[in-house]
Every structure is written in structure tokens, then in C-alpha cells.
A and B are shown apart, each in its own frame.
Chain A
Amino acid sequence: MKVHVKNWHGIAQWRWDTGHSDMDDDGEGDVCGICRVPYEGCCPSCKMPGDDCPLIWGECSHVFHMHCLLQWIATSASKQQCPMDRRPWVTAERKANRDDNAAR
């Protein structure tokens, strides 16, 4: 059976909470510094964005697609350093919802 979608209504959208709400000037959100694909997209090894291709946060505040960062950290050349600031990579706990923090 073939189905033709005549129209659709979007009712929700999602984005990762990277702490940066602003879009850059080309209308795309921030990109992963390693693969240059938006955070809301997925790393080059994945096909579907979302929970299967999550982000990873460093204590240094830098954010990458988890798969991109782990691929880099697995190389000896990385010396286990953050690609942005070359500090030792320490994975941060996923930030709690900032509104919750503000309410406390």
C-alpha cells in the first residue's frame, strides 16, 4: 500500500541542551568541532540523530558528538586531551536542567 502524505503539522521539536541557545548566522545551530555537523545532526558514522548519537560534555565545557570525541580520544595522538583546549579530557556529568538549578 502506498501512502501519500498530504500535509502535516509539527507539534514539537527537540535540541540538545548545550547551554547555547543562539543559532549562528547561517541559521544552523552550533556544530561539533570535529565533524562540523550540527549537534542536532549525527556524527558521520551514524544515520539517525537523537539518543543513538548523543553528545558528550567535558569538564572544560566543550561539547562534541560522543562518537566523534571517543574516536579522537582512542588515538594515541590525542594524549587524551580535549581537541579545543588540549586540557586532559574529563567527561562531565550531564548538566542538570538549568531552570531547576535557578529555582533552588
Chain B
Amino acid sequence: MAVSTRRLQKELADLKKQGTPVGIDLLSADNFEEWFLSLEVLGETVFVGEVFCLRFRFDSSYPISSPAVQFVVDDKWQAPMHPHVYTNGHICASILGNEWSPVLSVVSVCVTLQSMLASCKEKKIPPGNDRYVRHAPDNPKETRFAYDDDT
């Protein structure tokens, strides 16, 4: 059994036993390669009333290797308009890249992204969005993002 499967089984059991943090819900976890969670920002923020969908993809060495995490953009879901979120759903967040740690989890990533959205003051797309989206790889982990601020 892959290391990732055993760890994800534990995370799933904890999610079912303890529930998810407020604003975060498990939409599907039918296998140990791909999960979907919904994300809502609570309180008075620029995203009030909006619900987003996060897609997690895990390889067999998760949590040693980071999950590929992005917002879903399709007929039903939109990516939040945020300076660190490209319109194709790819997210520029250091914990998904060079600051990933194997003690992080699906829930802790969701909570971090929730607070990233909550602290947003102005809805703006990232600079260079069109150029990035045109050439973006399918898997956001293949993009080398430059993390140039700490917001």
C-alpha cells in the first residue's frame, strides 16, 4: 500500500470523526489520488457569499511530496479573483511550493487558503495572468512560482 494511502486514510477518518473547520466541506474523496473540498470565506470579506471548490491531487509519496492544489474552474465553479490566484485556478502560495512541510495536511492547506482569501482587500487578478494561463501546465506543481510577498 502506498505511503500516501495510509496517511490519507487517517486524514479522511479524522475528517469524518471531527468534522471540517467552518467554511470547509469535503465534496468528494472517492479515492486516494484526488479529493475535492469546498471553501467559503466567513465574515465580512470581499468574497462574501461566494463558494469555491479546491481540487487536491496526491502522488504516492504524499505527504513527503506536496499535493497539487488548485481551484476548480468549470461550468459550475469559478476561481476567486485574488492577486495570487490565476484565472485557471492555479494558486501561488509558498506552502504549496517551497514551504511545503509533511506535517501539513489537506485541512491545514484549506485553512491557510481560507485565511489568504480572508485577508484580501481588493479583488484583482495576478499580474501577468493572461500570459501565465496561456502557457500553464496542467499540474500547478510544474510551475515555479516566485513568492515575492508575504500576504
Contacts and interface: CB of A to CB of B under 8 A. Distances in A.
Contact of A77 (B1, B7, B10, B65): B65
B142 to A, nearest CB: 14
B100 interface: yes
B6 A34 contact: no
Interface string B12-36: 0000000000000000000000000
- Please provide the 4 A-B residue pairs with the shortest distance between their CB atoms, ordered closest to farther: A33-B103, A83-B101, A44-B3, A36-B10
B63 A77 contact: no
A19 B90 CA distance: 42
A45 B102 CA distance: 16
Interface in B36-80: 63-66
B122 interface: no
Contacts of B64: 34, 71-72, 75
Interface of A: 33-37, 44-45, 68, 71-72, 75, 77, 83-84, 86
Given A36-B11, A72-B64, A77 B100 contact: yes
Size bracket, chain B contacts: 10 to 19
A35 B66 contact: no
Interface string B95-127: 000111111000000000000000000000000
Contacts of B99: 86
Contacts of B103: 33-34, 83-84
A33 B99 CA distance: 16
Contacts of A68: 102
24 contacts: A33-B103, A34-B63, A34-B103, A35-B3, A35-B6, A35-B7, A36-B7, A36-B10, A36-B11, A37-B6, A44-B1, A44-B3, A44-B6, A44-B7, A45-B3, A68-B102, A71-B64, A75-B64, A77-B65, A77-B98, A83-B103, A84-B103, A86-B99, A86-B101
